[in-house]
Structure 1
Amino acid sequence: MCTDFTDLNKACPKDIYPLPSIDGLVDGVSGYEILSFLDAYSGYNQIPMYQPNQDKTTFITERSNYCYEVMPFGLKNAGATYQRLMDKVFQHQIGRCMEVYVDDMVVRSRSVEEHLRDLAEVLDQVRKFGMRLNPLKCTFGVSAGKFLGFMLTSRGIEANPDKCRAILDMRSPSSLKEKQVEWNDRCEAAFEEVKQILTNPPVMRRPDYGCDLHLFLAVGEEAVSAALIQEVPEFCPIYFISRVLKEPETRYQQLEKIVLALVIATRRLRPYLQGNQIVRSSGRRSGCCFGRTRRHLIEQALIFRFKASNNQAEYEALIAGLELARDLGVKVLCCKTDSQLVAGHMNGTFQIKDDQLLKYFHKAKHLFAHFDSIEVNHIPRCENQRADRLSKLSTGKEKGQLASLVRQIVFKPTVECLQVYSTAERDDWRREIVLLIQQQEARIALRSEESKQVARYVMVGEELYRRGYITPMLKCISKDESDYVMRELHEGICGRHGGGRSLRARALRAGFYWPTMEKDCQAFVVKCLACQKHGNIIHTPATALSAIVSPWPFAQWGMDIVGPFPTGRSQFDLPKYIITDNGRQFIDKKLVAFYKELGITPLTSSVEHPQTNGQAEAMNKIIIQELKKKLGDAKGAWADELQQVLWGYRCSPHSATGESPFNLTYGSDAMLPVEVGENTLRRSIADMGENEEHLRSNLDILPERRDMAVVQLEAHKRLVARRYNTKVKPRQFVEGDLVWRRTGEARKNPAHGKLSANWEGPFRVKESLNNGAYRLECLNGKAIPNTWNISHLKFYFS
């Protein structure tokens, strides 16, 4: 009887109890000498239904209504429920002598005697819990059998004959309709050979996790595949996967297809890859073209028989091309490469941080001396297709092309790759501790300070451990091992670019210890390139406050753009100096020529540092605030109200000088409009005849008043500078230092959004102008215009 439980399955919540991994079960059973396959008799029906839930399985017949007292087939959670029961029944046998997948059970052993003991133990559990087995489907004491669709033998996992039957029974085309092409004896032989290969695949086996796993990737036009292979001691396959590419994926570039194959492989082979060492194998080839025109080319293809990184292969191609040009007597040479790193190294725009690449760099520079003129340019990969084809050794000659192909096999690197070790062995801090522990175990008396030193250390086998507070035992590691631990915790797969304290805490929590870990963690974080590039903006001042003092009245003017405002009219007199920012309006060539005609000296502030022209910025802020309050909604009348705002500002005493700007300009206080509406004493008793004389005498004593104001202003600026300097964290650079420059909003890539880097560079300090201003240049020597304040710079650590 078949009952439809569709509606019941929709109403029931899903049981999330996991089923075992089929790949793991197959690997666990393969490779054993003796196997026994057990099958439960109507396995689901051996589990009684929960009494309150029996009525939910009710079904209607012609005679009456019935319900199940045992778990029927067809329920959504039947498989998970049965698997949970099997895991409880055989909890001491699963993984040791048997594997279970729902109602399929396998008992595996290495020998007959061991198998009899294991089988008796399993059958005791079956009898204890009242399970019933189907004798017609059980097989005992065999060397091979089918389990979950795989043929398992003592050799490993072999091809299932049932699945290969369709290929074996495939007939060669016989009718005219089936023969779409010419079919001869060679085609028939090839057809039989393909059938033989497909039906006799290599025997796969379970991996030995103590040896390396090799992942091979293969990419075709319409499919990608991957093979996981292990050498124990000869190569044997572990797993094989393949997938047909979708129509959009067939248009991927070769590199994108390789990445796609790697992604598919890592997702499918996750149980094998996690926590194990993997060696990726791929062909390493390179190619170069040399010639004056496209019709006269010399092509050279290089095949490397040694392990080489992509960057090393690019350098090998460059050096091979240089040697070929040198042998031909070329004096003027232009090298084009699609490697931005190699081009950057040779042009001086990139720093060389790898010792091996530094040897290649010096080798290439040595070959440069054989040419009168040489340049290395970076080109996109799409423009370097001929050299890319050479790297694949596709063809040696095209139709109508006067070119020759030179194939060269390189058995060892161009530069010496032997690792150089110091003749003096690096001091290992653990050696002294281990020696003291050995002396203590030999009952050799130690000094009190030595006893205290080794009290927290203990030897576990051949390893030294320290008793800790975070974890009971901290493994003591050397300097080289600590470099790996810090790099993995800081920038590894599960790393986090935190601070030095966080890195030290995570190293301790992971169970590692070395004496200088706090200092080393701080130094490692400081030198991290990603942390420097995306570091926080520095807001604390780096230099002391430098006040600007005018040598005489109106000698210096500060200018800044305020607005945008509606168009208005006004005019000003001519100053001696004009200090502005780096706006395009202020550094225009025509304006600079206009300054020169009038005898005005223009001065510009550092880029993105308005504090250099801070007095003008502060005054503009006051003017804007006053205009907002006066205008209300009539914003277009700002030009009419500006004179009143300026008049009020000029007639107000300033706390810095104690005088108003009007008084310091004319020697007297201005007559305010309020004195006209409401008479004051000086207006009511004013004598117009004596007024002119008093005004002139005020002008005579005006220099003395200005000197007094300068003294008071200088005292006020020193007070402000003293308060400002309490927040200063001194930082200065010298000529030749490498620095980061803060990335301004205008220089950020809009596509990056909030993920844009806060710092760009590095740049080299070309000149120090004191007071925190510097001139910079690129690493290739190209000067960067304008000056840059130290608040926008920070050290570059390498």
Structure 2
Amino acid sequence: MPGIDPSIISHSLCVDPMFKPVSQKRRSFNNERYEAIATEIDKLLKAGFIRNLDYNEWLSNVVLVKKKDGRWRMCVDFTDLNKACPKDSFPLPRIDQLVDATSGHELLSFMDAYSGYNQIRMNEDDEAKTAFITDRGVYCYRVMPFGLKNAGATYQRLVNRIFAAEIGRTMEVYVDDMLTKSVTAEGHVPNLRNTFMLLRQYQMRLNPMKCAFGVSSGKFLGFMVHQRGIEANPDKIRAVIELQPPRKAKDIQRMNGMIVALSRFISKLTDRCLPFFKALKHKGDFCWTAECQAAFEDLKAYLQQPPILAKPATGETLFLYLAFSEAAVSSVLIKEEGSVQRAVYYVSKSMTEPETRYPGVEKLALSLIVASRKLRPYFQSHPIVVLTNQPLRQVLQKPELAGRLIKWAMEISEFDIQFRPRTSVKGQAVADFIAEHSNPEVLNLSTGHVHQWEMFVDGSSNRHGSGAGIIIITPEGTLTQAALRFDFRATNNVAEYEALVTGLKIILNMGAEYVTVYSDSQLIVNQVNQDYQARDPEMIRYLRQVRSLMSRFIRISREHNSQADALAKLASTSDMKLPRTITVFRLPISNLSEDHQIGVLIPEPKEFHSCILNRKTPKGAQKSPPPWEHRKTPKGAQKSPPPWEHRKTPKGAQRSPPPREYRKFRKERNFPFNVTDT
């Protein structure tokens, strides 16, 4: 019997002795299936793959599965035997990495082993455990059969041992699927010669009907690979396009399974399939709605022209676009080829009910985490640049707002990740991804122009204090609002300038390049626009700061700025209870101070000792009197009566009657009155 020498490798079951042997009862079949079983038994006996067995402890039944050509394939039901076998933890290669390593080569040769599993011998001590029963008797396998629990791991261990010197250089191997590749056509023949030498040395046989040599493209592990990149398997796309509208829940489940196989190529997959998920949630009657049909047709239209994914070069910088919707987070990993951006991988994931309540920036952070987990090999071997106009870097570097941000920041700290503002779009696939997740009024993809950020500012000063309101709207429409309370005295004009300068510093720190600012102060607007001349020295200093920070300034009427105006008045009045989405931040010193610094509005947590440290008097400075010092009476002066002194009744005078409610209360409880009830 030809095959792999048992001294090189053989398959052992390693059955757990704690499991008792199971002997299945023989099943009955019709005459057609009995004939198919008899034919297969004769072939296996002639090839030397099985032998007769006189005594057995383990016994399994045969199972027949019809092939596409109408013939029968005989398998053995090793369910009980597999339960008693521990799992072999030998790793299988990642399909995505193998496909990436295969694309981009000029010539390819695809090879498939002939009955690959049957070329490995069974361990002699375990042959009897593979026994199976038919109407002609009991047989056991001498070679490794299909259906055993760890057969795939054993075969992968074999091919890794045989082609160790070629894997990753001229070959890629996944179990019994083998591929020889060459960057140029001239180098393909020498690579094939090395492959054939190894096959002959270890006596491994190929199936010529399933081999293709010296081709420019072909199917490998469910993908179409060629020199230009990676395409989806046309057979899988055709199967989805030819689907009829589902008539029951199982049809939707089957369709979802087919779509998941193409998930790498489908932008915002979860959002596209959301109507299907909703239809599966109905526990009662099946309901295929108009929304489901529209999503079904949209998916078919998308698959008519699926994208060709690019293969990243070793160590190449990759770019990541992030997006989120009401129900899902999505991302696309891209590479730049000259002036064009090409997609490498699309990622999408539905959000849980608590995750849908995350703020917009945290949803983007969640999208980054999902991408880093799904695309971990890319993140480990490539520098990643995240393109976003949101303050994602600042949030992940100062994650005091929520414990999950600390965890996420630590999780991605092992990768080489940088954050940059989103610029013009250089590829149609990337443009489609951004357009699906953006407001069309915000981003003009045809020209590559990014809409400006918008900021509304207003200051307020009254007898209770002074403060400012700031509202920032990102190009994606995310709204950030804050109220500032000044710990220094400020006039209305100073408060307006403080709001403007502080807001500009914040928005520039968030990565904005083009800003449209709205204010309702006529004086400030005209001074910045040089319609008015600033004469006050303090106003001149503020004006210099504004002109150095600001690129464009637009004046609007007061009613258009009512929200920022309300925040300013709120901050200047007092420390009030606010909704959780609005926080009052304190500004301890003026922007005119030389040591003034400001960052993104993320409030720092107060430690228990911060209040004590803040009250300490610097060394050499005079201590301020305690809060009760003003109550002391100067020496020799007459003490003022206590606050309750006026309540005492003069000696000999008649006391005033108690309040009506008090008298009623005493009567109800039969309490005696100390004064006359009038």
Relative to the length of structure 1, the TM-score reads 0.39
Relative to the length of structure 2, the TM-score reads 0.46
| Structure whose CA Rg is larger | 1
